[in-house]
Amino acid sequence: MSGIPEALEAARRFGIKIIPGVEISTMFSQGWDSASDEPVHILAYYSSCGPAKYDQLEKFLSGIRDGRFLRAENMISKLNKLKLPLKWEQVAKIAGEGVAPGRLHVARAMVEAGHVENLRQAFSRYLYDGGPAYAT
């Protein structure tokens, strides 16, 4: 949600309409069979420049953001244990200031460090669901 004011200003300058919102990724589970877990992407849109209960939503999203930082740190730790050294600073720089890093940012850092040739290789060898550097 931190980029919404900038997006609205850019939209005004270019004469386009912005519908603010957030995407929350999660897993749907039957409860009894984790092998059947399915990814679900929840999209929340709102017509004004923010939700009516902005503080509550921001608090909820900050918990998710904190979890993404922890997840990225866990992936880096696993890669370091696999003798594929990465530094947090590399991943954070790729993600950008204030952005919660994800697997893609870690994969890009792996390419930059020369550990893999491309993003596909980073995912197929290390970052796939259940892979040696995967973290939840």
Alpha-carbon span 17 to 30, nearest angstrom: 39
Please tell me the pTM assigned to this model: 0.70
pLDDT of residue 55: 76
Output the pLDDT for position 61. 83
Torsion of CA 56, 59, 60, 62, to 10 degrees: 160
pLDDT at 34: 60
Tokens 């679900």 label which residue?
40
Higher pLDDT, 4 or 89: 89
Percent of the chain topping pLDDT 90: 51
Structure confidence at residue 35 (pLDDT): 63
β-sheet bridge partners, residue 27: 39
- In the chain, list all ranges with CATH 1.10.150.650: 65-136
Average pLDDT of the residues of the chain = 87
HSE-CB of 125 using CA atoms within 13 angstroms? 14
Q: How far is CA 27 from CA 30, 31, 49, 78, in A?
A: 10, 11, 28, 22
Of the chain, the percentage scoring pLDDT greater than 70 comes to 89
pLDDT digits (tens, 9 = 90+) for 49-86: 555 677 777 788 888 889 999 999 999 999 999 999 99
pLDDT of residue 32: 66
The answer to whether 77 touches 57, Cβ cutoff 8 Å, is: no
The whole-angstrom separation of Cα 135 and Cα 107 is 13
User: Where is pLDDT greater, at 5 or 129?
Assistant: 129
| Assigned fold of 65-136 | DNA polymerase; domain 1 (1.10.150)
Report the C-alpha gap between 112 and 40 in whole angstroms.
30
Tell me the DSSP string of 24-42.
Answer: EEEEE--SS-GGG-EEEEE
How many C-beta neighbours within 10 Å does residue 24 have? 12
Whether the CB-CB separation of 31 and 55 falls below 8 Å is answered with no
Residue 1 has pLDDT above 70, yes or no: no
What is the mean predicted confidence (pLDDT) over 121-133?
A: 96
